[in-house]
A and B are shown apart, each in its own frame.
Chain A
Amino acid sequence: MVKFNAKNLNIWFGQIHALKGVNIEIEANEILSVIGPSNSGKTSFLRMLNRLNELHANFRMSGWLEFDREEIKRINVESLRKRVGMVFALPLPLPLSIFENVAYGVRMHGEKNRGKVAGIVEGALKQAYLWDEVKDRLGVSAFKLSGGQQQRLCIARTLAVAPEVILFDEPCSGLDPISTAKVEEAMLRLKKDYTIVLVTNNVKQAARVGDRTAFFLSGELVELDRTQKLFTAPADRRTDGYIRGEFG
């Protein structure tokens, strides 16, 4: 099943043409890795999928983008963002306890029953592989957690509002290798129930977790293929150059 479908998608921020005629389909329950140097448009593409680009004052778009066969502009933006969750580059816990951080979105969307909230929080923390590390100190401030734990807390917070898709925007750029491995492990297990789009600066990470990989350069989608194929026999010379580290 196709989750997202973009046809000739163009976007601008003021004078800057950030995405140029992108055509892409994102399948349900896959991990799509998106790689490319900075300013390649990969984050702008990701932020199209939950309409976060619209916070930018001079944003314009043309072309077609649909989510679950519905044009994305016609979907109520709050319910779209509830269905398409996002994890940011820097873990961003709120100045609240571990429990309250995860319960936050749940409560915001109107769940008042305490037992239900507690159940959802526990489930989300388990899915993010954080439960065993924090179950005895849920009341402690989220800032007491390590960077990797904070990032998994943010994943749990996203999972708690029951999305269908999770967008990861360079989720491991500030993490050490062990924490990174744990976040990657969580992503691989989440694939079963969610569609995942992972923007990453780390080419090896894309190779490790992506089912398919897309390579962006200067706002264009240069190549999209099965990860195995893209990393062993890229069709485009520019892709080859990038994954071999000739430019970055």
Chain B
Amino acid sequence: MRKLKEFFVERLILICGLASIFFVILIFLFLTKEGLAVFKSVRPLDFLLGRNWYPISEPAQLGILPLIFGSLLVTLGAAVISIPIGVACAVYIAEIAPLKIKEVLKAGIELLAAIPSVVLGFIGMVTLVPWVKTTFHLPTGLTALSGSIILAFMAMPTIVSIAEDALYSVPKSYKEGAFALGATHWQTIYRVLLPAASSGIVAAIMLGIGRVIGETMAVMMITGNAAVIPHSILVSVRTLTATIAAEMGEAVVGSEHYFALFAIGIVLFIISFIINVTADLFLHKRR
């Protein structure tokens, strides 16, 4: 009887484990099947490097270069804002802050991570967008810059918590060794702790950026969604994710447009896959 029970429990757990892999493979297969269909009518290079995204004109023009640029620009902007602030915050929490402030900050960062992206987008829409508009004298505040700032807030919790973890796990003896040589606190942080934790910090940054690139709701609300190759950070852009979210509802199933959106999904999948694998490589290097 006990053996039988053991047998069933083991099988059940096995099935659960396989199910998750099975679903991932299923999703991947579905994505490729639907996405690759677009290349029957468009050549891959024209799809990736085409400058015009007019999916419902006749004939449809399906070039996603403006969307790729939109995603990259917003991500780059978010990275420029969130990396220095995030890493500095991690250093402060791990090394400088007194215990009480440390607790408060950590709770605050977790709270920031818990805000739903649509709420952040909404707040950005009513506060940040008008501010960008008046500060830079623009016709509209719905720009890549607004998107970058909001996304920086979304990347920050990931960057801070993982980088803080990496700094914290640097052996105490490294720090003592530096102090014993007469290093100041800042010299110890800058010359010993940061280099020693560098692989973990890079992983933190990659995961933060991974979150930014996949983010949809907030960017769709505040970047203006103009599918044009941007020439500055102060113009409207449209990202890969926002395109899928905005157009999937109105694309006719089985149309070129429909397949193209799936192909965009593949592109996104490849980008985040590369980012995650890179982060993983750095995390493993640490161990």
List residues of chain A with CB under 8 Å of any chain B CB.
Answer: 50, 52, 55, 57, 78-82, 85-86, 88, 90, 92, 94-95, 104-105, 108-109, 157-158, 161
Residues of chain A within 8 A (CB-CB) of B177 are 88, 92
> Which single member of A57, A90, A95, A161 contacts B181 (CB below 8 Å)?
A161
Residues of chain B within 8 A (CB-CB) of A94 are 192
6 cross-chain pairs, A with B, having the tightest CB-CB distances, nearest first: A82-B182, A86-B180, A81-B182, A105-B181, A92-B177, A78-B182
- B184 contacts the other chain (CB 8 A): yes
B166 → chain A closest CB, angstroms: 15
Residues of chain A within 8 A (CB-CB) of B283 are none
In angstroms, Cα B187 to Cα A158, docked, is: 17
Known contacts A57-B99, A94-B192; A105/B182 CB under 8 A: yes
Residue of B175, B181, B187 contacting most chain A CB atoms (<10 Å): B181
Closest to B177 in A: A92
Closest to A93 in B: B177
Contact between A88 and B176, CB atoms less than 8 A apart: yes
Contact between B176 and A157, CB atoms less than 8 A apart: no
In angstroms, Cα B195 to Cα A161, docked, is: 22
Closest to B181 in A: A105
Contact between A88 and B180, CB atoms less than 8 A apart: yes
Contact between A108 and B183, CB atoms less than 8 A apart: yes
A161 → chain B closest CB, angstroms: 6
> Which single member of B176, B183, B192 contacts A78 (CB below 8 Å)?
B183
Contact between B179 and A52, CB atoms less than 8 A apart: yes
Closest to A87 in B: B180
Residues of chain B within 8 A (CB-CB) of A57 are 99
Contact between B179 and A81, CB atoms less than 8 A apart: yes
0/1 per residue, B187-208, Cβ < 8 Å to A? 1000110011000000000000
Known contacts A57-B99, A90-B173, A94-B192; A85/B180 CB under 8 A: yes
5 contacts between A and B (CB under 8 A): A57-B99, A82-B181, A88-B176, A105-B181, A157-B181
- B174 contacts the other chain (CB 8 A): yes
In angstroms, Cα B207 to Cα A189, docked, is: 53
In angstroms, Cα B177 to Cα A108, docked, is: 13
Residues of chain B within 8 A (CB-CB) of A92 are 173-174, 177
A166 → chain B closest CB, angstroms: 10
Known contacts A108-B187, A108-B191; A85/B181 CB under 8 A: yes
